[in-house]
Amino acid sequence: MINYNVDKKGFYGDFGGAFVPEMLYPNLNELTLNYVRISKSKSFKKKFNQLLKDYVGRPTPLYFAQSLSEKFKCKVYLKREDLCHTGAHKINNTIGQILLAKELGKKRIIAETGAGQHGVATATVCALLGFKCIIYMGEVDIKRQSPNVARMKMLGAEVRPAKSGSRTLKDATNEAIRDWISNPVDTHYIIGSVVGPHPFPDMVARFQSVIGYETVNQLNELENKSKPDYVIACVGGGSNAAGIFYPFLNDEDVKIICVEAAGKGVNTGKSAATSILGKEGIIHGSKTLLMQTNDGQITEPYSISAGLDYPGIGPMHANLYKSGRGEFISVTDKKAMEWGLLLSQMEGIIPAIETAHAFAILDQKKFKKNDIIVFNCSGRGDKDLDTFIEYFKL
Ligand SMILES: *Cc1c(COP(=O)(O)O)cnc(C)c1O
């Protein structure tokens, strides 16, 4: 059997690893030596599960979408991560990492954020457990995402602008890494997706795997089956996808579909379809697929949804792409926006624009009548209301 999960050295096939400056070795070493042991310990699991239940609101429902199922002639289920506290799956990971930081005796948390969603999820758990919280955010993003900046401040976090380069996510990430190098003893860096150097991709995937394991239990109850025919998720860095794929990675009866943001179109120069447009390279300490120029400069990605415009994908997904285990489909801004409206009106669920991308594949792909299709409904659309208002002149 082929293993699509991480190996002992922190690789997924050809991808992953930890390609970082020597000064970061001690920080990563401490994590690598401890993350599995701590996260598997009884006392950690008890605290983690308790918070997921009482604070996040888990388990999230697995909802049978009647109207979509009738229209597309298959069985469509939605895993309702949009119902999590703070509105998306990101909180599963930040809860896991803050508990880990606590076990490691850390006092101070840093994080990077693009649209601000991960910043808010991090500031939330820092408020919950009384940690000092510093969020690095590109100066351009601070201007574009002012409601999330306000949320982080309300939650007690300090938002530090990244003023170099394009002043967006990748620059914020560079600043966060610099901070971590300077503060190796008291600080933990909470990365927001299955990206970055080992052990981050595996650690984040494990914390998000609660999505997939709940799905297994819920399918058993609802369908008397422990596996669906397809699992489908949008992919920015890849954490909500990794979470729902996790129990099925090595079970090829379950087909995996990753949906990327085509932006204005894959060949328009305004896209975030990283697998198709990307080449192998190293970004943020990880060998993966990323969008780059011929001489290896990272290309600025574009998508109408802030959560999908990361120039790379996590190493797990790069391997799913290269090996053919996952099918990769890209969806334009236009299709995603239309599906945001369609899902709202067919099911009464206003999705995040990221999430809406995943559903748009129903127009592109045919399923069989009894196929069980599980979409990861990664987040809700409240944060995107202004974009919807402007786009549809509501
Ligand atoms: C951040 C975000 C994503 C993209 O991140 P992944 O790590 O790829 O999951 C998708 N959906 C929502 C709602 C998000 O907030």
pLDDT cut 70: percent of the chain above it:
100
* Ligand 1 pocket check for 84: Cβ under 6 Å: no
What range defines the domain where residue 383 resides?
Answer: 57-87+209-392
Question: Is there a single domain that holds both residue 98 and residue 162?
Answer: yes
Sequence-ordered list of residues with C-beta below 8 angstroms from that of 351, at least 6 positions apart, any chain: 82, 339, 340, 343, 344, 359, 377, 379, 380, 381
Question: Is there a single domain that holds both residue 70 and residue 99?
Answer: no
Per-residue pLDDT at 168: 85
Does 139 qualify as catalytic in the annotation? Answer: no
* Ligand 1 pocket check for 94: Cβ under 6 Å: no
Question: Is there a single domain that holds both residue 66 and residue 37?
Answer: no
The alpha carbon of residue 358 and the mean position of all alpha carbons in its chain are separated, in whole angstroms, by 13
Question: Is there a single domain that holds both residue 193 and residue 302?
Answer: no
Ligand 1 closest atom vs CA 242: 9
Q: Is residue 133 part of a domain?
A: yes
Does 90 qualify as catalytic in the annotation? Answer: yes
* Ligand 1 pocket check for 240: Cβ under 6 Å: yes
Q: How many CA atoms lie within 13 A of 247 on its CB side?
A: 16
- Final residue before a domain boundary, out of 149, 171, 204: 204
More reliable by pLDDT, 298 or 197: 197
Q: Is residue 369 part of a domain?
A: yes
Per-residue pLDDT at 311: 86
| pLDDT-derived band at 1, boundaries 50, 70, 90 | confident
Q: Is residue 292 part of a domain?
A: yes
CA of 241 to the centre of ligand 1 (A): 9
Mean pLDDT of the chain: 96
pLDDT digits (tens, 9 = 90+) for 116-152: 999 999 999 999 999 999 999 999 889 888 999 999 9
* Ligand 1 pocket check for 379: Cβ under 6 Å: yes
pLDDT of 166 higher than 90: no
CA of 7 to the centre of ligand 1 (A): 25
Question: Is there a single domain that holds both residue 146 and residue 20?
Answer: yes
Q: Is residue 124 part of a domain?
A: yes
pLDDT of 115 higher than 90: no
- Final residue before a domain boundary, out of 162, 180, 204: 204
Do you find a cis peptide bond into 197, omega within 30 degrees of 0? no
CA of 47 to the centre of ligand 1 (A): 25
Question: Is there a single domain that holds both residue 69 and residue 46?
Answer: no
Per-residue pLDDT at 6: 98
Looking at the DSSP bridge assignments, the partners of residue 312 are 290
Question: Is there a single domain that holds both residue 218 and residue 358?
Answer: yes
Q: What is the mean pLDDT of residues 41-59?
A: 98
Question: Is there a single domain that holds both residue 27 and residue 129?
Answer: yes
Q: What is the mean pLDDT of residues 301-327?
A: 93
- The CATH number given to whatever domain includes residue 347 is 3.40.50.1100
Ligand 1 closest atom vs CA 118: 1
Q: Is residue 2 part of a domain?
A: no
Atom 2 of ligand 1, residue of closest alpha carbon: 307
Q: Is residue 1 part of a domain?
A: no
Per-residue pLDDT at 204: 98
Ligand 1 closest atom vs CA 88: 13
* Ligand 1 pocket check for 148: Cβ under 6 Å: no
Residue to probe by mutation, ligand 1, list 89, 257, 304, most atoms within 8 Å of CB: 89
Smallest CA-to-CA distance from 232 within 219, 241, 223 is with 241
CA of 88 to the centre of ligand 1 (A): 8
Given the residues 75, 79, 90, 383, select the one marked as catalytic: 90
Please tell me the total count of domains within the chain: 2
Q: What is the mean pLDDT of residues 357-369?
A: 97
* Ligand 1 pocket check for 10: Cβ under 6 Å: no
Q: What is the mean pLDDT of residues 226-253?
A: 97
The pTM assigned to this predicted structure is: 0.97
CA of 311 to the centre of ligand 1 (A): 14
* Ligand 1 pocket check for 82: Cβ under 6 Å: no
More reliable by pLDDT, 39 or 298: 39
Does 378 qualify as catalytic in the annotation? Answer: yes
Q: What is the mean pLDDT of residues 56-62?
A: 98
C-alpha 45/C-alpha 146 separation (Å) is 35
pLDDT of 48 higher than 90: yes
Per-residue pLDDT at 201: 98
Question: Is there a single domain that holds both residue 186 and residue 282?
Answer: no
Question: Is there a single domain that holds both residue 240 and residue 375?
Answer: yes
Question: Is there a single domain that holds both residue 195 and residue 300?
Answer: no
- Final residue before a domain boundary, out of 204, 239, 265: 204
Per-residue pLDDT at 197: 97
Atom 4 of ligand 1, residue of closest alpha carbon: 236
pLDDT of 157 higher than 90: yes
Q: Is residue 4 part of a domain?
A: no
Per-residue pLDDT at 253: 98
Question: Is there a single domain that holds both residue 356 and residue 252?
Answer: yes
| pLDDT-derived band at 241, boundaries 50, 70, 90 | very high
pLDDT of 349 higher than 90: yes
